[in-house]
Structure 1
Amino acid sequence: MNEPLTPEQLRILTPLNVLSEQQWRELRSQLVPQPLLAGQLLFRQGDQARLTYYLLAGELQLQDAEGRTQRVSAGSELSCHPLSPAMPRLHEARALSDISVLMIDSAMLDRLLTWRLAYQDLLLAMQQGGADIEWLERLLENPLFTKVPPTNVQNMLGRLQRIEIEAGHQVLTEGEAGDCCFFLESGRAEVIRSAGSDRQVLAELEVGACFGEEALLSDRPRNATVTMVEQGSVLRLDRQDFFALLKAPVVAEVSLGEAARLLTQGAQWLDVRLLEEYEKAHAPQALHMPLQLLRLKARLLDKSRTYLCYCDSGKRSSSAVFLLSQLGYSVYALRGGLDALPAVQRDALLCENGAGYLARSGGRTERSR
């Protein structure tokens, strides 16, 4: 049985290479190479399976609707990117030799990617403000936050109440109603459950751990007691703020037709994908504003202008729109992202490649070199 790819192998694959090791662990079951024999089809033109494919070994051929072909060899620059990523597929992919491929659920990958890039932007902004981000980085590795819209996290941080607690104090008591959850900021804590007259230690919590959320999600009494083993501090989040944290933000969206109308009125495309994705193909005169640097680079934009954000699925652009809207910009996301466009419209939109356009102070746009 094949083993999952190692971090060294993952670091050459775009955009998998920007994910954290915790996120790679979440994808672990999908990171196992799959074999395909020479002559077999990997996918057909028009295929709409929500899978992201990478070629890891061997050679395959991509053929488009006009019969034009392209060979892709493992280890080449092309093989470091997803194969024919547009949906539906613009190519047929057939193995020219025995090959090995990686198949990853596209929706899951996009969710992880959006979260990773958005919280990098948040950490950078907080670090510039003088905040100690080491604890926050550990907090954001908590599985709870893989389900939280990244744009909600900063609002949550302002609602946390810090509480200093002595060793031996019970933070939560089994059987009580749940009206809040906690994050362990410092110190050590044990999770204990009663079993008749015995006490069973279930776990020791690490800094950054969230506890007490199960009672909120299930609307049932606490199922365990949490006791501080040594002096430390916790951050309390009230019930209503916890559910606000999980709620997805609402952003303004436009169709491609509506975007075209806004462009004639002076709107500007913003490409919020990674640099490698942008250089491969981007919209005419689109500014490259990657999501992970957006908070830093937003000051270069012009608040009197309308901006139109796009990415592949729409998730990264939705996060960008929410952030820019909070900063006072007029901004919309392309509804459904590039993947929602018919192949002809997608190709017409992404008609430029290579170095693109940069925003300078005051909103001035320059062609990059």
Structure 2
Amino acid sequence: MNEPLNPEQLRSLTPLNVLSEQQWRELRSQLVPQHLLAGQVLFRQGDQAHLTYYLLTGELQLISLDGSEEVLRAGSEASCHPLSPSVPRLHEARALTSISVLALESSTLNRLLTWRLAYQDLLLELGAAGEDVEWIESLLENPLFHKVPPSNVKAMLDRLQPLSVVAGDRVLQQGEQGDCCFFLKSGRAEVIRDEGGARQVLAELEVGACFGEEALLADRPRNASVTMLDDGMVLRLDRQDFFALLKAPVVNEVSLGEATRLLSQGAQWLDVRLQEEYERAHALQSLHMPLQLLRLKARLLDPQRTYLCYCDSGKRSANAVFLLSQMGFSAYLLRDGLDALPAIQRDGLLCESGSGYLARSGGRTERSR
């Protein structure tokens, strides 16, 4: 049985190389390579599986719709990017030698990637405002925050109510109805369950831990009590805020045809992917501004111009549109992203060497090639 690959073996793969250690752990069950013999087909043209493939070893032949062929070798620059990412597939992929590939659920990867880049962007903003970034980063690693759409995370942080507590305080009582959840900002606390008069200590909570959310998610009474062991501080999130912030905000979106009309009226493409993804292929005259730097670089945008945001799946660009709209810009996302475009439309939009613009530090942009 194959052992899962470790993150160091995958650091060259784009965009996997930006994921955090915790996110790698979430993906661990999927990090097992698949092996094919020479002549076997990995996928065919028109394949609908929502999987992201990477070539790890060997040589693979990609056959396009028009019959043209490309040989992909593991370790090459091209192999560091997903294989034929559009769904349905634009190519047939056939092993020329014995090969190994990595197959990841696209929805999971897109969720993790969007979350990681959005929260990097938020930490940069909060750090510039003098906030305790180390504490916030530990808080954001809590699995509960992973259920929150990235664009809502700052609103959740803003709604946390700090409460000072002392050793011996019972923050939650077993059997009570849940009207809030808490995060432990400082101090220690223990989780205790009373079963038939027997007191059972279930866990000791560390800084950054969330407790009380199970009663909210399951709409059931508290299944345990939480008592402070030290003086400290907890952050309370009310039930109504909790559920409001689980809902993704509505953002403006357009089809490629509607985007073309807006471009003719002076709009501009805004590529919010990583630079490695942008340099591989991008829309002509697009401005590159990666999601994780969007708040810092937004000053380079023209407030009188409309921006059309795109990424592969539409998830990163949806978050970008929300952020830009919050800052007063006119912005739309390309509906469902690049991967949903038919082959002829995708090929017509993206080019490998056409000029665009890179947003650089120091408040300037420069031409790209």
TM-score, normalisation: structure 2 = 0.97
- Measure, in 1, the Cα distance between the counterparts of 2:364 and 2:16: 33
Amino acid at match of 1:294: L
Indicate the residue corresponding to 1:7 in structure 2. Answer: 7
In structure 2, what is the equivalent of residue 288 of structure 1?
Answer: 288
Question: Are the aligned partners of 2:181 and 2:239 in contact in 1 as well (CA < 8 Å)?
Answer: yes
In the alignment, does 2:57 pair up with 1:57?
yes
Match of residue 213 from structure 1: 213
Deviation digits for residues 190-243 of structure 1 (CA, Å, limit 9, x no counterpart) = 111001121111111121111111111122211100011111110011111111
Aligned to 2:69: 69
| 2:284–2:355 Cα contact (<8 Å) kept | no
Secondary structure of the equivalent of 2:175? coil
Deviations 1:297-325, CA, capped at 9 Å, x for gaps: 11110111111001111111100000000
Aligned mates of 1:151, 1:187 — CA distance in 2:
30
Q: What are the Cα deviations for residues 109-162 of structure 1, in whole angstroms up to 9, with x where unaligned?
A: 001101110010000110111111111111111111222111111111111111
2:240 and 2:32 mapped to 1: Cα distance?
41
CA contact (8 A) 2:63 2:91 kept: yes
Paired with 1:51 and 1:359, the residues of 2 have a C-alpha distance of 31
Secondary structure of the 2:245 match is: helix
Contact in 2 for aligned 1:279/1:354 (Cα 8 Å)? no
Segments of structure 2 that go 5 or more residues without pairing to the other structure are none
Aligned counterpart, 1:277: 277
Instruction: Report the counterpart of residue 80 of structure 1 in structure 2.
Output: 80
Counterpart of 2:98 in structure 1 is 98
- The question of 1:27 aligning with 2:27 is answered yes
What is the alpha-carbon distance in structure 2 between the residues aligned to residue 360 and residue 205 of structure 1? 43
How far apart are residue 368 of structure 1 and its match? 3.5
Give the 3-state SS of the residue equivalent to 1:158 in structure 2: helix
Distance 1:354-1:187 versus aligned 2 partners, 3 A rule: farther
Q: CA deviation at 1:360?
A: 7.8
Q: Which residue in the other structure is 1:222 paired with?
A: 222
- The answer (yes or no) to whether the contact 1:15–1:274 under 8 Å persists in 2 is yes
Output the CA distance in 2 between the equivalents of 1:286 and 1:356: 5
Find the counterpart in structure 1 of residue 113 from structure 2. Answer: 113
The two structures have a TM-score, normalised by structure 1, of 0.97
The one-letter amino acid paired with 2:14 is T
Pairwise CA RMSD? 1.7
CA distance in 1, matches of 2:80, 2:263: 33
Question: What is the Cα deviation at residue 67 of structure 1?
Answer: 2.0
Report 1:152-171 matches (<5 A): 152-171=152-171
1:138 matched to 2:154? The reply is: no
Q: CA deviation at 1:105?
A: 0.4
Query: Which residue matches 1:202?
Result: 202
Shift of 1:72: 1.3
Q: Secondary structure at the match of 1:27?
A: helix
- The equivalent residue for 1:348 is 348
Q: CA deviation at 1:261?
A: 0.7
Residue 178 of structure 1 corresponds to 178
Corresponding residue of 1:252:
252
Is 1:314–1:335's contact at 8 Å kept on the other side of the alignment? yes
Residues 261-301 of structure 1 show CA distances to partners (whole Å, capped at 9, x for unaligned) of 11011000000111111111111100001101001111110
Identity %: 78
